[in-house]
Structure 1
Amino acid sequence: MKVIVLGSAAGGGFPQWNCNCPNCDGMRKGAIQAKARTQSSIAVSDNGKEWVLINASPDILAQIRATPALQPGRSIRDTGIVAVMLMDAQIDHVTGLLMLREGKPIPLYCTASVWDDLSTGLPLTNVLSHYCGVEWKNLLTDTDQAQAIQVPGVANISFTALPLKSKAPPYSPRRNSPEPGDNVGLLIENTITGKKLFYAPGLGEIEPHIKNAMREADCVLVDGTLWTEDEMIRLGLSKKTSADMGHLPQSGPGGMIEILDTLGSQRKILIHINNSNPILNENSEQAAILKSHEIEVAFDGMEINL
């Protein structure tokens, strides 16, 4: 199983177009050592030819151009993307669907909650019905009896969706009262080798079934949005805490570092990094702390083989 990180940043990318925080300003001026990043998305394949796109970010066209494997060029109109799977209905994870409108109908795997948001509050499915069209595949979640599914064209990989606590999008009627299915994590398994990846770019709380999935995986690729709970407030970027945004910060008691330290020898990688997070500065104290805990920071183009 091959996994390519197409985008590793949170919404807005890095540097963010209108942000002059120390990271973004430092990146533009060349004052810090850091990599530019697009908005988070990954692609998964069993043969390197057919791919499942997980989340379709607004940067999808640039990500495809940077990833030749997604454009194999076998015919006059072609793509290596056989399906799209969504973790949630956040704008930075779904608006790239509009950029795929010139192709064939899109097999779209998502929960009923996400489908409802994309059919009403942000009616992308209605818009796309006038172009390529969308074929909805209901992504079922069940904490007690999780159901592994396979996607046609990617025969040797199974995907198991697990409900997790985060936030529905700001435009959703469930923003302040999220329901199971608004957000999912994915346990992705190579059915030949048995190797597993747990992917969750948004995590507000580590529930027991999520902790079990993380322990079961050979690699965890999880929420790295903010370093501290009050990061956005302290920098004057927002009045929202990390919890308000549906994310678990890395530092502090109960933070992501503490959680990842309880795992075994799995490979541990953070993704969905906000432009304000000091770990983007590769020479920062925070980046050094992650390294001491053997935690990696995802970057665009990163490849994971399982």
Structure 2
Amino acid sequence: MKIIVLGSAAGGGFPQWNCNCRNCAGLRAGTLAATPRTQSSIAVSGNGTDWLLINASPDILAQVRATAALQPARASRDSGIAAVMLMDAQVDHVTGLLMLREGRRLPLYCTTSVWNDLNTSLPLARVLSHYCGVDWHELQLIGDGPGMRAMQAPGIGDIRLTPVALSSKAPPYSRHRMYPCAGDNIGVLIEDIGSGKSVFYAPGLGMIEPQVEAAMRHADCLLVDGTFWSADEMIVAGFSKKSAADMGHLPQSGEGGMIATLDGLGTREKARRKILIHINNTNPILDDDSPERAQLARHGIEVAFDGMEIDL
């Protein structure tokens, strides 16, 4: 199984077009040791030819141009993208669907909650019905509370997908914003059936609940929420009055943060790879020379970058 990180930044990318924070200004001026990043998305394949696109970023066209594997050129019009899976209905994860409108009918995997948002609050499915069209496949969460159900997406090789319900935030325009329900946000455990190797992908993660910890302990590789370094990052920067938790993200630092969570998984079960993705432009870990980046390295935690390839 191969995973390609198409985009590793949070909404707005890095540098964000209108932002003059230390990171964005430093990158533009060439005074910061950092790499530009597009908005988060990954592609997964079991055969190296047919790919499942997980989240369709507004930057998808640039990401496809930068990723030769997504354009195998087997016909006069072709794409390596065999299907799309959505983790939520956030703008930075779904609006790239519009950029795929010239292609063939699009198999789309998402929860009922996300599908409803794509037909009402942000009606991309209705728009696409006038172009390529969408075939919706429901991602089901079993039980009365958050749960899991494994499935396979036809056409991408021997890959098993287990949606994992997360506590995060539905988009501001969603009817679920103030009344969350299971399925607004998910992660996914992706397993290679042949090798048994797996990766857990959760770019938006607000809380470590039992089903999340179970998926993290099972996985050989973690691609998890790296949005903010600190709980009050956006408040201190003067960009928002909301904390990381208010936005549905678990910060890296502090008690119960992502570093402590990843450390707590230990290494006795397996030597797993730990990678942060969906990194906000204000996060100091974007600076390769920052003490925060050095702290991650001491804990064996990597920072995703566009074009990063993971083989399992």
TM-score, length-normalised on structure 2?
A: 0.97
| Aligned-residue offset at 1:82 | 0.5
Per-residue deviation, 1:122: 0.2
Which residue matches 1:70?
70
What is the match of residue 298 of structure 1? Answer: 304
Matched residue, 2:113: 113
Partner of 1:282 in structure 2? 288
Give the partner amino acid of 2:262: L
Alignment of 1:85-164 (within 5 A): 85-142=85-142, 146-164=148-166
Q: Secondary structure at the match of 2:125?
A: helix
Counterpart CA distance in 1 for 2:204 and 2:164 is 12
Match of 2:272 among 266, 274, 290: 266
Matched with 2:173 is: 171
- The match for 1:208 among 175, 199, 210 is 210
What is the rounded CA distance, in whole Å, between the counterparts of 2:39 and 2:62 in structure 1? 11
Q: Could you list the structure 1 runs, at least 4 aligned residues long, displaced by more than 3 angstroms after superposition.
A: none
Q: CA deviation at 1:77?
A: 0.3
Alignment correspondent of 1:242: 244
Structure 1 residue 63, shift from structure 2 partner: 0.1
State the secondary structure of the residue aligned to 2:306: coil
- Partner SS, residue 158 of structure 2: strand
Q: In structure 2, what is the Cα distance between the partners aligned to 1:283 and 1:248?
A: 23
Structure-1 separation of matches of 2:173 and 2:241: 18
Name the CA distance, whole Å, in 1 between partners of 2:169 and 2:197.
29
* 1:11 equivalent in alignment to 2:11: yes
Measured against aligned partners, the alpha-carbon deviations of 1:57-92 in whole angstroms (never above 9, x if no partner) come to 000000000001000001000000000000000000
Query: What residue number does 1:36 align with?
Result: 36
CA distance in 1, matches of 2:147, 2:193: 18
The 1-side partners of 2:9 and 2:242 are apart by: 18
Partners of 1:197 and 1:177 in 2: CA distance: 30
d(CA) in 1 for partners of 2:7, 2:148:
27
Q: What CA deviation, in whole Å up to 9, does each residue of 1:262-286 have, x standing for no partner? A: 1222100000000000000000010
Distance, in Å, in 1 between the alignment partners of 2:147 and 2:281 is 37
Aligned partners of 1:176 and 1:255: how far apart in 2?
Answer: 24
CA distance in 2, matches of 1:175, 1:22: 31
Quick one: which amino acid aligns to residue 175 of structure 1?
A: R
1:46-57 map, 5 Å: 46-57=46-57
Distance 1:296 1:18 in 2: 27
Q: Partners of 2:16 and 2:157 in 1: how far apart?
A: 38
CA contact (8 A) 2:50 2:157 kept: no
Question: Aligned partners of 1:275, 1:168: CA distance in 2, in Å?
Answer: 21
Q: CA deviation at 1:144?
A: 7.3
Letter in 1 for 2:150: A
Aligned residues: 306
Report the counterpart of residue 193 of structure 1 in structure 2: 195
Aligned to 1:107, the other structure's residue is in SS state: strand
Structure 2: distance between partners of 1:239 and 1:105: 42
RMSD (Å), alpha carbons: 0.9
Q: Aligned residues: percent identity?
A: 67
CA distance in 2, matches of 1:233, 1:75: 51
CA–CA distance in structure 2, aligned partners of residues 37 and 239 of structure 1: 25
Gaps of 5+ in 1: none
Partner residue in 2 for 1:219: 221
Structure 2 unmatched runs, 5+: none
| 1:6-60 superposed Cα distances (whole Å, 9 cap, x missing partner) | 0000000000000000000000001110000000000000111000000000000
- In structure 2, C-alpha distance between the alignment counterparts of 1:114 and 1:281, rounded to whole Å: 34
* Partner-residue secondary structure (3-state), 1:154: coil
